[in-house]
């Protein structure tokens, strides 16, 4: 499945959402006018002589363009206000959504075996997808098997799983579910989900007002005096009309949700197979849901308005047209056309019981052929005892050993990455200078933080860190992110200031140091601050041609091949024949940083094009270097745009070098 094609689909869905939303608002305006006209007709047009009200003509007399415009403006303004407030609430990050449903954050230090397994799987998927490890939340009060990913960007994304998911799925089934949620993160579905929730809240708000009026009128009728009048009697009629209006709006909202969500679920299922290289994982998870009594039901108070973000249908629907997810059988058959229609029965575990191993003793539950390279490598040389435990998967020690082996990282580094102080020490040790004098200055800066044991730990880790290859740096940083997100706001401010001061200790900034700082800042800031997204300023890439040239040329020079040929590939992809590489003195780290931040101000539709051009440059020589990976990931982070998995990056054979300005100084450095 082509990542950039999925981005195009996500953008088309966003446009469809806007069209459907505008149609729903227009319908609400018409119905609101009808409700107001009915209220006025009921309260004012009673004929005391005839003992009745005027008929249709009297009702239509209350329609006028002036009143229509006024009511339309009032309805639009109200919906816009509600949508804005809901958007502001949800855009604060995925943790807001998870916590609103009673989610509890699973800490990296958890000693619960089920939670530890889930954290391991999430970390595996993040490493496989080349993205930072998101925070994980548990919905402890939910027995249904379900999960969701929430957030406005990959930087503030979280993955939440129900207790039923933790306790009743085998490891390879859990991998399928988590991979499904990761595809939503990478395909840009999360931002669309937030827009959808905010817009639908605006549509259903009218019904909330009607319900309030109905209750208010009920209290008024039972109050002192209990006066009866036309206007008093009309109030519940208005409330009933608005409630019916809201009910119709809710139906429209349900239809919009269903229209947008169902196709995304098919795509996410298919993407999960790509991530795990194993169609049986998500297929068997769906089969378990079909044979599990609580199914995917979720009872959290706020779950209904966010039903479209879940892995499965959270409530029973009488009509399939309003279902946010395709039927279970259809999803399974899409993954396995030869499916025999049999589900996997899984007994509901009572929570007073001692936790067992999900799937223990069952027949027919396959295990993943290949989930991630780390786990595959671990099992390749595993013993029989490890293989027999495959339904549950490796314990924490086995998993950490597998990751350490695959990435050739010291086991101590993996252990420290799960502790906040250890994760800080690893990040700072990556910046340790080979120059003794500079390194002593850096250690002095670290010692001034007052964090107990931090300076000593950095000193201990530095020798091992200096033996790491460049390709090991990015995975190590990604493993540190969950622990770094558990610091207090004050601890994070101190860490961030220390990180910057450590970089500047030698009074110059290397490209790797810039990439490291930007990655950490981008993925940690949303955890501690309310980060405002950059305001788009550039609608056309031609307006940022120079900055685009700086970024592409710096990346092209990191290629092992001809930078001019790599640059030419990007020029053709972008359709900008006038795009030229800048002069060498214009390609320093400061200029590169400025150029990246200018590109971050492009309109969202342009950003995937820039990243696709960068992946072409990175793969122009047929391989990806560590420096190329770090640059592309850092630029994607600053631009706040999801990045395709490296498996989807094109590894092209560069065309013959051309005698143009495309290769004026391949050997120069910034």
- Mind listing the pLDDT tens digit for each residue in 413-425? 988 998 999 999 9
pLDDT exceeds cutoff 80 at 557: yes
- Asked whether the whole model's pTM tops 0.85, one would answer no
pLDDT, position 42:
65
**pLDDT tens for each residue of 335-350:** 899 999 999 998 887 6
The span from the CA of 533 to the CA of 544, in Å, is 19
> Domain 97-188+273-335 adopts which CATH fold?
Zincin-like (3.30.2010)
Taking alpha carbons only, the member of 189, 120, 191, 130 closest to residue 161 is 120
Give the right CATH number for 541-648 from 3.40.720, 1.10.3680, 1.10.3470, 3.40.1800: 1.10.3680
Query: Over the range 405-432, which residues count as b (16 or more CB within 10 Å of their CB) and which as e?
Result: ebbebbeebbebbbbbbbbbbbbbbbbb
Taking alpha carbons only, the member of 364, 484, 499, 328 closest to residue 421 is 484
pLDDT, position 211:
64
Beta strands at 147-150 and 104-105: parallel, antiparallel or unpaired: unpaired
- Phi and psi angles of residue 52, each rounded to the nearest 5 degrees, phi first: -155, 175
pLDDT exceeds cutoff 60 at 384: no
173 vs 352 pLDDT, higher one: 173
Structure tokens at 341: 């229609």
* Highest mean pLDDT: which range of 135-139, 253-257, 471-475: 135-139
Taking alpha carbons only, the member of 207, 240, 101, 155 closest to residue 529 is 155
pLDDT exceeds cutoff 80 at 560: no
pLDDT exceeds cutoff 90 at 226: no
pLDDT exceeds cutoff 80 at 56: no
**pLDDT tens for each residue of 176-206:** 999 999 988 877 778 778 887 888 788 777 7
pLDDT, position 472:
85
Annotated active-site residue in 142, 173, 181, 513 = 181
Mean pLDDT on 111-118: 91
Strand partners for 533: none
Least confident of 33-42, 126-135, 565-574: 33-42
Mean pLDDT score of the chain, rounded to an integer? 78
Measure the N-to-C terminal CA separation of the chain; round to a whole number of Å.
37
Give the confidence band of 71 by pLDDT, cuts at 50, 70, 90: confident
pLDDT exceeds cutoff 70 at 27: yes
pLDDT, position 333:
92
Residues in contact with 529: Cβ distance below 8 Å, sequence separation at least 6, in sequence order: none
Mean pLDDT on 403-418: 79
pLDDT exceeds cutoff 60 at 391: no
Beta strands at 52-53 and 135-139: parallel, antiparallel or unpaired: unpaired
pLDDT exceeds cutoff 70 at 567: yes
pLDDT exceeds cutoff 70 at 219: no
The residues of the chain that CATH labels 1.10.3680 are 541-648
pLDDT, position 381:
41
The span from the CA of 264 to the CA of 259, in Å, is 10
181 counts as catalytic: yes
Mean pLDDT on 554-572: 87
**pLDDT tens for each residue of 575-612:** 998 899 899 888 889 999 999 999 999 987 888 889 98
Structure tokens at 102: 């009673």
**Residue position matching structure tokens 């958890």:** 110
pLDDT exceeds cutoff 80 at 45: no
The residues of the chain that CATH labels 3.30.2010.10 are 97-188+273-335
Collapse the DSSP code of 2 into the 3-class scheme (helix H, G, I; strand E, B; otherwise coil) and give the result.
coil
- In the DSSP assignment, the letter for residue 310 is B
pLDDT exceeds cutoff 80 at 371: no
User: To the nearest whole percent, how much of the chain has pLDDT over 70?
Assistant: 74
Query: Are 7 and 271 a contacting pair, CB within 8 Å?
Result: no
Give the confidence band of 382 by pLDDT, cuts at 50, 70, 90: very low
Q: Can you give the three-state secondary structure of 496-562, one letter per residue? A: HHHHHHHHHHHCCCCHHHHHHHHHHHHHHHHHHCCCCCCCCCECCHHHHHHHHHHHHHHHHHCCCCC
pLDDT, position 62:
66
């Amino acid at each position: 499945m082509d990542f950039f094609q999925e981005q195009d689909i996500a953008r088309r869905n966003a446009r469809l959402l806007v069209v459907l939303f505008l149609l729903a608002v227009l319908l609400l305006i018409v119905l609101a006018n009808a409700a107001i006209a009915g209220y006025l007709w009921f309260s004012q047009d009673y004929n005391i002589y005839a003992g009745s009200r005027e008929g249709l003509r009297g009702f239509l007399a209350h329609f006028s363009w002036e009143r229509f415009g006024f009511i339309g403006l009032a309805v639009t303004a109200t919906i816009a206000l509600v949508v804005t407030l809901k958007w502001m609430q949800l855009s604060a990050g995925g943790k807001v959504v998870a916590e609103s449903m009673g989610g509890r954050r699973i800490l990296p230090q958890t000693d619960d075996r089920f939670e530890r397994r889930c954290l391991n799987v999430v970390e595996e998927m993040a490493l496989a997808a080349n993205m930072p490890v998101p925070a994980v939340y548990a919905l402890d009060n939910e027995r249904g098997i379900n999960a969701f990913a929430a957030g406005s960007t990959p930087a503030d994304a979280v993955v939440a799983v129900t207790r039923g998911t933790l306790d009743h799925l085998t490891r390879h089934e859990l991998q399928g579910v988590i991979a499904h949620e990761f595809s939503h993160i990478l395909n840009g579905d999360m931002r669309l989900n937030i827009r959808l929730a905010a817009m639908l809240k605006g549509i259903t708000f009218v019904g909330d007002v009607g319900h309030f009026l109905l209750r208010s009128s009920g209290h008024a009728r039972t109050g002192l005096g209990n006066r009866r009048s036309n206007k008093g009697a009309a109030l519940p009629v208005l409330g009933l009309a608005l409630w019916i209006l809201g009910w119709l709006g809710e139906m429209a909202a349900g239809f919009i949700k269903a229209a947008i969500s169902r196709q995304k679920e098919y795509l996410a299922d298919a993407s999960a197979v790509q991530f795990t290289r194993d169609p049986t994982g998500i297929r068997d998870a769906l089969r378990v849901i079909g044979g599990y009594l609580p199914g995917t039901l979720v009872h959290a108070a706020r779950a209904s308005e966010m039903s479209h973000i879940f892995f499965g249908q959270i409530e029973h629907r009488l009509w399939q047209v309003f279902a946010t997810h395709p039927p279970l059988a259809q999803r399974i058959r899409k993954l396995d056309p030869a499916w025999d229609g049999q589900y996997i029965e899984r007994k509901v575990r009572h929570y007073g019981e001692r936790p067992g191993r999900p799937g223990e003793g069952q027949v027919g539950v396959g295990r993943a052929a290949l989930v991630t390279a780390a786990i595959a490598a671990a099992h390749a040389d595993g013993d029989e005892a490890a293989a027999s435990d495959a339904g549950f998967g490796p314990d924490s020690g086995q998993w950490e050993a597998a990751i350490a082996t695959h990435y050739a990282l010291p086991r101590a580094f993996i252990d420290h990455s799960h502790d906040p102080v250890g994760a800080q020490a690893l990040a700072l040790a990556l910046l340790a200078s080979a120059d003794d004098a500079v390194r002593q200055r850096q250690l002095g800066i670290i010692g001034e933080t007052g964090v107990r044991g931090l300076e000593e730990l950095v000193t201990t880790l530095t020798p091992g860190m200096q033996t790491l290859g460049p390709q090991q740096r990015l995975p190590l940083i990604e493993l540190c992110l969950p622990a770094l997100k558990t610091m207090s706001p004050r601890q994070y401010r101190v860490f961030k200031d220390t990180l910057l001061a450590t970089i500047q200790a030698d009074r110059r900034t290397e490209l790797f140091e810039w990439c490291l700082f930007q990655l950490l800042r981008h993925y940690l800031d949303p955890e501690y601050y309310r980060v405002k997204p950059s305001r788009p300023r550039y609608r056309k890439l031609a307006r940022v041609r120079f900055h685009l040239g700086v970024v592409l040329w710096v990346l092209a020079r990191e290629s092992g091949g001809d930078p001019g040929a790599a640059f030419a590939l990007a020029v053709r992809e972008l359709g900008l024949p006038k795009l030229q590489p800048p002069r060498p003195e214009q390609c320093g780290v400061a200029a590169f940083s400025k150029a990246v931040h200018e590109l971050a101000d492009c309109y969202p539709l342009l950003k995937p094009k820039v990243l696709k051009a960068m992946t072409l440059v990175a793969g122009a020589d047929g391989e990806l270097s560590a420096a190329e990976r770090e640059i592309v990931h850092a630029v994607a982070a600053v631009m706040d745009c999801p990045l395709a998995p490296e498996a989807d990056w094109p590894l092209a054979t560069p065309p013959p070098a051309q005698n143009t300005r495309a290769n004026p100084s391949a050997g120069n450095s910034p």
